[in-house]
Amino acid sequence: AQKVTQAQTEISVVEKEDVTLDCVYETRDTTYYLFWYKQPPSGELVFLIRRNSFDEQNEISGRYSWNFQKSTSSFNFTITASQVVDSAVYFCALSEAHGNNRLAFGKGNQVVVIP
Amino acid sequence: DGGITQSPKYLFRKEGQNVTLSCEQNLNHDAMYWYRQDPGQGLRLIYYSQIVNDFQKGDIAEGYSVSREKKESFPLTVTSAQKNPTAFYLCASTAWGGASTDTQYFGPGTRLTVL
């Protein structure tokens, strides 16, 4: 069974600080897909990134970066130079190749950026 | 504009009533999903549909029903059998290619409150 753990519940940072969100996953499938979504106060989930299990290349997109390590089953997400608009709940999710595209979500990280 | 719409944004229900939440997409996506989100929790899958006139139960289907008569529409009915229906409901869709490679995109959500 697939499982996603986001241990930190709420993280507060002062504006311009970096913040890293941890995500640890469990799966028996050898092919799987990892996602990060952002949920601002409005409630809608906004897709940020998707990673395939066979692609461990880390990625940087603007102030966002992702660190995927299969050896530790982790898919961590970093916001560099945080801004107030980054305040949101961030969800890590996992989809197995043989799981009918079902997503398993972690409980989310509430990020609060203090001006 | 292409996207997923959910209505209403807020819904109030009296105990014992059935209510139907609307989800429409004009992305020409094959698969659609319903999730429930409770405070401080991740999303849990209620029902999903990969093609018209077919749908499967997710992890918490009891007390809910769905239909998929049209590709663009996937309404969710919360029945009186659902003991604790107060929650935030999110609809998602994805282009189903028969494999778990496609990203799910979400609507803005409906917040249901039982009075």
Residue B68's nearest CA partner among B78, B79, B58, B77 is: B77
Q: What is the model's pLDDT at position B1?
A: 62
Lowest mean pLDDT among A16-25, A46-55, A95-104: A95-104
Q: What is the model's pLDDT at position A14?
A: 97
Say yes or no to pLDDT of B98 above 60: no
Q: pLDDT digit string (tens) for B26-77?
A: 999 999 999 999 988 889 999 999 889 999 999 999 999 999 999 999 999 9
Q: How many interface pairs between A and B have CB atoms less than 8 angstroms apart?
A: 69
Say yes or no to pLDDT of A27 above 60: yes
Mean pLDDT, chain A, rounded, equals 92
Question: In chain B, which residues have their Cβ closer than 8 Å to the Cβ of A42?
Answer: 108
Residue with tokens 């066979």: A54
Instruction: Look at chain B and count its residues.
Output: 115
Q: pLDDT digit string (tens) for B8-21?
A: 999 998 888 999 99
Strands (E), B1-115: 4-7, 10-13, 19-25, 31-37, 43-51, 54-57, 64-66, 76-78, 87-94, 105-106, 110-114
Per-residue pLDDT band at B101 (split at 50, 70, 90): low
Distance from A47 to chain B by nearest Cα, in Å? 7
Distance from B109 to chain A by nearest Cα, in Å? 6
Give the Cα separation of A23 and A4 in Å (integer).
7
Q: What is the model's pLDDT at position B11?
A: 93
Say yes or no to pLDDT of A101 above 80: no
What region, left, alpha or beta, does residue B98 occupy, with left being phi > 0 and alpha being psi -120 to 50 degrees?
Answer: left
Per-residue pLDDT band at A115 (split at 50, 70, 90): very high
CB–CB contact A44 B109 (8 Å): yes
Q: What is the model's pLDDT at position B76?
A: 98
Give the H/E segment covering residue A14.
Answer: strand A10-14
Q: pLDDT digit string (tens) for A34-72?
A: 999 999 999 999 999 989 898 877 888 899 999 999 999
Long-range contacts for A77-80 (Cβ within 8 Å, ≥24 apart)?
A: A77/A20, A77/A21, A77/A23, A77/A36, A77/A48, A77/A49, A78/A18, A78/A19, A78/A20, A78/A21, A79/A18, A79/A19, A79/A20, A79/A21, A79/A111, A80/A18
Q: What is the model's pLDDT at position A18?
A: 97
Decide the pairing of beta strands A109-114 and A10-14.
parallel
Mean pLDDT of A15-20: 97
The shortest CB-CB distance from B40 to any of A35, A98, A107 is to: A107
Looking at per-residue confidence, does B12 or A101 come out higher? B12
Looking at per-residue confidence, does B112 or A56 come out higher? B112
CB–CB contact B56 A100 (8 Å): yes
Instruction: Report the largest interatomic distance among the alpha carbons of chain A, rounded to a whole angstrom.
Output: 44
Give the Cα separation of A24 and A3 in Å (integer).
8
Q: What is the model's pLDDT at position B97?
A: 56
> Which of B11, B51, B96, B104 should be substituted to probe chain A, the one whose Cβ sees the most A Cβ atoms within 10 Å?
B104
Task: Report CA dihedral (B47, B50, B53, B54) to the nearest 10 degrees.
Answer: -60
Give the Cα separation of B87 and B11 in Å (integer).
10
CB–CB contact A44 B106 (8 Å): yes
Distance from A67 to chain B by nearest Cα, in Å? 19
